[in-house]
Amino acid sequence: MAFIGDGKKSASDHNAPGLPRPPKVVNGNVPARLPWLVAASPTCILACPMRVILVGLGVMGVNHLRVLRSLPELCTVAGVVEPNGERHGLAQVGGSCAVYSSVGQAIAEATPDAFVVASPTSTHFLVGREILEAGIPLLLEKPIAQSAAEGRALQELAEKRAVPLMVGHIERFNPAVVAARHIVREGQVGDILNVSARRVGGTPRDIGKAGDVLVDLAVHDIDIATWLVGPPTLRGALGQRNDLGSVNSASMLFQAGGATVDIHVNWVTPVKIREIQVTGTQGYLHVNLITQKIAFTRQNPLLTSSKSNEGFYYDEYVASFATPDRIDVGIRNREPLQEELKAFLKALAAKHEMPVSAAVGVAALDLAEQARRAVEDRISQPGPK
């Protein structure tokens, strides 16, 4: 596996100009290595930013690199692991950066405090295992692994070694999702009846690496639904395959307590839509995950009054229902990826639990796999004649 094991240094020297070496001690005598074991304070965070190694320079990896470099008070990018030589130049965009051909080489030469893994999903298990066995904390991009079984193995290893492991379920750091959860938890929508999610459009550059829409897309909304209304149970799923044999469109129905959860995902729709709708006994939320806007509509008295059964002239009908009275919830837009990485680094420095645990990542992936099996079972059955 190119991302793991021993490897030779690339043409980019790991002592690149401008790459600071870490201080040998913190607060007098405590080693700077393994910062999650030392008492943290704002002064320590500013005085000795963590040395982070990024694994992978694909689409998400480049974004992680950009954001990590924007957080100098929390971390220093100590290097990048990328076996694909054609991508090495990307590591130098925005600053000097060491490039390593393997995780083993990075551990030996860069003495990192933490890893951020954004390599292909197929590499997550072996890369994650090597890092955990070295006793170094890491953030793994979602999904946690290629299968729930691999994810559980990583979870168990992290627990056994007492090494922090966070899964990058980025929507938990979307200010709109955070605000929606607050509104729901405060009871402003009443008892939740339904959560409906659409995540459509945006074909991945490499479908082979993405797998299918269940793992690539649906795992996000499964996790959001879990965060909003509790662990869901799959009740059914349908979908279609593309010419390459990948499931590129799927609809799922879940039940979470007294609420239903329906999720539709595809790579086909020519516009990119990312939205959540929450219907409760007292109101309705529409959440746009891209613009980070929430519209909150309270129950319309006309819909519950006896007059609703008396009939309307068309112009009255349009005037009453075309533009519902709604409240636009004020949200300060923030980049979810930056919020995610800040949360990871701050949790390490403060010795707090990881904001998104390995167990959370495994649970979401397990439900996505259940949905995949249900879709494939339906596809394999002959249709009506």
Residues 259 and 207 in one domain: yes
- Confidence at residue 360, expressed as pLDDT on a 0 to 100 scale: 98
Q: Which of 101, 122, 141 is the last residue of a domain?
A: 141
The torsion defined by the Cα of 103, 106, 108 and 114, in degrees rounded to 10, comes to: -90
* Whole-number Å distance between alpha carbons of 261 and 344: 29
| Number of domains into which the chain is organized | 2
What pLDDT does residue 350 have? 95
The token pair that represents 341 in the structure block? 């990485």
In a domain, 269, yes or no: yes
Q: What is the dihedral of CA 201, 182, 349, 134, to 10 degrees?
A: -50
Same domain, 134 and 204: no
Beta-ladder partners of 166? 139
Q: 211: domain CATH number?
A: 3.30.360.10
Last residue of a domain, one of 121, 141, 161: 141
- At residue 37, the pLDDT reads 37
Tens digit of pLDDT for each residue in 326-353? Answer: 888 989 999 999 999 999 999 999 999 9
| Cα–Cα distance, 79 to 90 (Å, whole number) | 12
Cα separation, 254 vs 237, whole angstroms: 9
Q: Supply the pLDDT for residue 22.
A: 33
pLDDT (0 to 100) of residue 210: 64
> Does some domain include residue 184?
yes
Residues 32, 121, single domain; the answer is: yes
Q: Please give the model's pTM, rounded to 2 decimal places.
A: 0.84
Residue 321 covered by a domain: yes
Q: Is residue 159 part of a domain?
A: no
Residue 352 lies in a domain: no
For residues 207 and 305, membership in a common domain is answered with yes
Question: Are 45 and 85 part of one and the same domain?
Answer: yes
- In the three-class reduction of DSSP (H, G, I as helix; E, B as strand; rest coil), residue 243 is classed as coil
Residue 29: per-residue pLDDT:
34
Q: Return the structure tokens found at 88.
A: 């090495």
> Does some domain include residue 162?
no
Yes or no: say if 209 and 120 are a contact pair by the CB < 8 Å rule: yes
* Pairwise CA distance, residues 338 & 75, whole Å: 12
Residue 280 lies in a domain: yes
Stretches where the chain sits below pLDDT 50 are: 1, 6-46, 384-385
Same-domain pairing of 137 and 176: no
The residues facing 240 across adjacent strands are 249
DSSP class of residue 187?
T
Q: How many CA atoms lie within 13 A of 98 on its CB side?
A: 29
Same domain, 128 and 263: no
Q: Cβ distance 97 to 19 under 8 Å?
A: yes
Tokens standing for residue 267: 């790579």
* Residue 166 forms part of a structural domain: no
Residue 67 shares a structural domain with residue 184? no
Domain around 203 = 172-335+366-378
Q: Report whether 122 contacts 2 (CB < 8 A).
A: no
Using an 8 Å Cβ cutoff, are 341 and 139 in contact? yes
Compute the distance between CA of residue 291 and CA of residue 276 in angstroms, rounded to an integer.
Answer: 12
CATH value at residue 125: 3.40.50.720
Please check whether residues 176 and 137 belong to one and the same domain. no
> What is the tens place of the pLDDT at every residue in 91-117?
888 888 999 999 999 999 999 999 999
For Cα atoms 278, 364, 175, give the angle at the middle one, nearest 5 degrees. Answer: 50
Contact 50, 348 (CB under 8 A): yes
Task: Tell whether 184 and 276 lie within a shared domain.
Answer: yes
Residues 128 and 177 in one domain: no
| Judgement on whether residues 203 and 305 belong to the same structural domain of the protein | yes
Please name the residues in contact with 14: beta carbons below 8 A apart, sequence gap of 6 or more.
79, 98, 100, 109, 110
Instruction: Tell me how far apart the alpha carbons of residues 223 and 231 are, in angstroms, rounded to a whole number.
Output: 9
- Give me the count of residues in the chain: 385
* Virtual torsion, Cα 263, 265, 271, 276, nearest 10 deg: 20
Task: Identify the CA nearest to 369 among candidates 221, 207, 154, 149.
Answer: 149
In contact, 164 and 347? CB cutoff 8 Å:
yes
